[in-house]
Amino acid sequence: MTTLMADWASQGGAVEQGTVAALRERYGLDQPIYIQYYKWIAGIVTAGDFGLSFEYGRPVAELIWGRLGYSFLLAVLTLCFAWAVAIPIGILSAVRQYSIGDYVTTFLAFVFLALPNFVLALAVMYVVSTYFGKSVGGLFSPEYADAPWSFGRLWDLITHIWLPVVVIGTGSLAALLRIMRANLLDELRKPYVTTARAKGLSELKLLIRYPVRIALNPLISAIGWILPAAVSAEILVSVVMSLPTTGPLLLRALLSQDMYLAGSLILLVSVLTIIGTLISDILLALADPRIRLQ
Amino acid sequence: MSASAETILKVENLKTYFPTRKGMFRAVDDVSFEVKRGKTLCIVGESGSGKSVTARSVLQIVDAPGRIEGGSIQLTRPDGSITDLAQLNPRGQEIRAVRGNEIAMIFQEPMSSLSPVHRVGDQIAEVLKLHFKLSRKERRQRVIELLQQVEIPDPEKAIDRYTFEFSGGMRQRVMIAMALACNPALLIADEPTTALDVTTQAEILDLIRKLQQQNGMAVMFITHDMGVVAEIADEVLVMFRGKVKETGSVEKIFHDPEDEYTKNLISSVVKLEKKAEVRAEQLDASTEYKPLLEVSDLSMVFDNGHHAVNNVSLTVHSGETLGIVGESGSGKTTIGRCLLRIYDPSSGRIDFKRSDGSVCEVAGANKADLKAVRREIRMIFQDPVGSLNPRKTVGQIIAEPLNLMGVKGRELEEQVCALMEQVGLPPSWRERYPHAFSGGQRQRIGIARAISVKPRLIIADEATSALDVSLRSQMLDLMMQLQDELGLSYLFISHDMSVIRYMCDRVAVMHRGKIVETGETHQVINNPQHAYTQALLSAIPNPDPLDRRLHNRFRFAPEVTA
């Protein structure tokens, strides 16, 4: 608050004394930090009031909602992408252990694990814009950016969103792939696989129905940590790719010490994480009777 | 090469090899045998003899990188046509039509051989779905029938349960139901009772025999237990390191063995059928016993309310071996752990007489006393693989308790060497890691570690259960030799009556957390008083095919459940 006051003052003292006093009164800004915190949380819980962004001079809730939707969409799509690609490749990599394909995917997985997303983002943007001549910043082309929803706008979103999804997802994808491979390798050696084979099942059916089915369980619990990982990766990537998500907003809020905006964003990200963990726990219980019944 | 009408399976010169870095490992090397309709062929051998691989070769389900390199496996169908299974593509349609349908298989580990995330009914129904055209409803009906056939109580409910909701014996019954689903002509059973208690084993053997008679199927039974062989076999095939040592009728193998290896195998089993000679002699010399460990009214209730040990009292005298025998879940291991305070007992006293003559109450001892007592009471564990740290050399493992006592440097080295010699391991091997040792050798390492600090009482928890028969008697002999040399007492926990009889002076029989009978070993064995002891004794397979005990065994009525 003090920094902000100093800022405002230095900008020409255009702040009316009354506004400041009203702010102080409303958020208890002259009181100790725990009372400020209590007032803020109480406001959120009772009235959905996330406070006021000092930087933008608008309520935080108003600023966030639009962007949070895109953030969430991006996180979910990233998760789906990572799962959809990691599982089949992980299965192939495990079933053909020590084949050329396995070595190649292992190598690539480690490269993508080690590569920071924003570097990948820069590289991909460069390649796409130079060689394919497409607009790569943001989630929309300029002509659709502020247009109302239509099929054209949706299609525009689809043509744009795959790039950030791929960029944010590759890290998680590589991690999931390694987990899937390791799990499946463990499961493939279990005696119940031999039992299933002795029944006369074909190899493909057997693979899907028994070891893969069981190897998926740890992957379900991975949702809990993939979601926050995707969100934090998204912050950096969306700054680089200038996406209309919460990432750039959070960065700016932190730089300008916009307390309520930054706090609310971090709070919402934390809530998302907890919800993600809860969902993964529920899914895991549905998928695995050992967890459900013991 | 015409097989008689009675022959279902004729295996000739079967060779299954595993390519390794060091060259070809010949797991099955030139094995031939025949299985006849309605008869039981037992393939017997120690671990690593290739008996399991032989069985798996028949169905072409040998684990990679194993391959059938040569020979033929001829399956005769009821219509007289003959197929050579060895020529079929292991992933092909033809061999898959045989698996589970004409030849079915059951495995050793009922826990891990069934999928934990599928309902048992679905797992059984899957075989039916593969090989028969039945509607969903008919399948369910047939599965319930099968569960009834293998004597699983309440089949309508059991069909929708998961495997982890069943006990080991029940799981094995599910396996059998699955194998029998398509009325196979041949059942291959790969150590189906090894992981089970003796009483459960007797039940399962009974069941297999009954179903065999009903369906007229042939059984190929793989086991390392000569007692089981004598109980069920018509024909026996003895294997050693991938080769057939001897084959013949069960009477011939047991009473007139020709091969040297077979003779050894039989004699090591028969040896365990009576008291060890060293101990038999001592029986006459009346030794005066002084109590070393007195346990009174010990109870252990776990947090989930399970009463594992219920008011148990027992005494171990100095220099004697007390056996605790019982099925899994009877609480015998829990007692052993309570004595060392690995678990804190819920109530009761444990009085241990220290070497300085003072008596220490272990159940309520403080940290310092406990540390001192743990030096005098040591433990040997069942699993010789899991109980040794794989990242330490054998020398370091044996030295660890000495280290804790403050022995250092040259003296430590010398003591470790002496200990290794004492348990029959060359001291020059002390720089090696546990994985370089065989199961028997690892158990010797465990023993060396236990005796390193000169304890007075050793708790041996199923110390020989994981070993082959021939190693088992060696290990027991070693333990008795050390007992005489060092004046040790043993608390010997086992489910195996023959081991108890061989080794123990007195025995306590445990059932469901209680001791039902205590006495001199020969009295308990020759004249058991409690009905449970009688049932337990009569469930032990007798290694004599002319006197099959299991046929008319005594069942402990209210609680004998598999």
Interface test with A, best of B102, B105, B117, B162 (most A CBs within 10 A): B117
| Cβ within 8 Å, pair A200-B165 | no
The tokens for B387 are 């109980």
Q: DSSP 3-state assignment of B507?
A: strand
Cα distances (angstroms) measured from residue B438 to each of B225, B265, B433: 19, 19, 11
Is residue A267 in some structural domain? Answer: yes
Q: Which CATH architecture has domain B277-390+455-528?
A: 3-Layer(aba) Sandwich (3.40)
Q: Which domain holds residue A170?
A: 67-293
| A38 and A107, same domain (yes or no) | no
| A43 and A153, same domain (yes or no) | no
Is residue A58 in some structural domain? Answer: no
Q: Which amino acid is at B188?
A: I
| A27 and A110, same domain (yes or no) | no
According to DSSP H, which parts of B17-89 are helical?
Answer: 51-59
Residue pLDDT, tens place only, A248-284: 888 888 888 888 888 888 888 888 778 888 888 898 8
Q: DSSP 3-state assignment of B385?
A: coil
Q: How far apart (Å, rounded) are the C-alpha atoms in residues B231 and B198?
A: 13
| ipTM computed for the complex | 0.75
H or E element: which one contains B67? strand B67-76
Instruction: Please give chain B's pLDDT, 562 residues, in tens.
Output: 444 558 899 999 999 998 888 788 888 989 999 999 889 999 998 877 888 899 999 999 988 788 899 899 999 988 888 889 988 888 888 999 999 999 999 988 877 899 989 999 999 999 999 998 889 999 999 999 999 888 888 899 999 999 888 888 888 889 999 998 888 999 999 988 887 788 888 888 988 888 898 888 999 999 988 888 988 999 999 999 889 999 999 999 988 889 998 988 888 888 777 777 767 666 544 455 688 899 999 999 888 878 889 899 999 998 889 999 988 778 888 898 899 888 888 899 999 988 888 888 888 888 888 888 888 999 988 877 788 888 999 999 999 999 888 888 899 999 999 999 988 889 988 888 888 888 888 888 999 999 998 899 999 988 887 777 778 888 898 999 899 888 889 999 988 888 888 889 899 999 888 999 999 988 898 899 999 998 888 888 888 888 777 766 777 654 444 4
CA dihedral B34, B40, B45, B49 (to 10 degrees): 40
Instruction: Describe the strand order of the beta sheet including B506-511 as a list of residue ranges.
Output: B377-380, B457-461, B489-494, B321-325, B506-511, B514-520
Q: In sequence order, which residues have a C-beta less than 8 Å from that of residue A234 and are 6 or more positions away?
A: A71, A74, A75, A78, A164, A168, A243, A245, A247
Is residue A106 in some structural domain? Answer: yes
| A45 and A71, same domain (yes or no) | no
Q: Answer for the pair A217, A290: CB distance below 8 angstroms, yes or no.
A: no
Domain ranges of chain B: 112-181, 277-390+455-528
Q: DSSP 3-state assignment of A181?
A: helix
pLDDT of residue B467: 79
Count the domains in chain A: 2
Interface test with A, best of B62, B106, B108, B115 (most A CBs within 10 A): B115
Cα distances (angstroms) measured from residue A163 to each of A122, A129, A144: 11, 12, 17
| Cβ within 8 Å, pair A289-B126 | no
Phi, psi angles (nearest 5°) of residue B31: -105, 135
| A122 and A255, same domain (yes or no) | yes
| A81 and A160, same domain (yes or no) | yes
Please indicate if any CB of chain B lies within 8 Å of the CB of A289.
Answer: yes
Interface test with B, best of A199, A204, A291 (most B CBs within 10 A): A199
| A188 and A216, same domain (yes or no) | yes
Please indicate if any CB of chain B lies within 8 Å of the CB of A58.
Answer: no
With 0-12 CB in 10 A as exposed, 13-18 as middle and 19+ as buried, what is B484? exposed
| Cβ within 8 Å, pair B127-A210 | no
| A155 and A271, same domain (yes or no) | yes
pLDDT of residue B15: 92
Q: Where are the beta strands (DSSP E) in B77-145?
A: 82-84, 103-106
Q: How far apart (Å, rounded) are the C-alpha atoms in residues A37 and A58?
A: 19
Chain A / chain B CB contacts < 8 angstroms: 76
- CATH of residue A230's domain is 1.10.3720.10
Q: Which residue is associated with the tokens 């060359």? A: B426
What is the distance between the terminal CA atoms of chain B, rounded to a whole angstrom? 44
| Cβ within 8 Å, pair B59-A294 | no
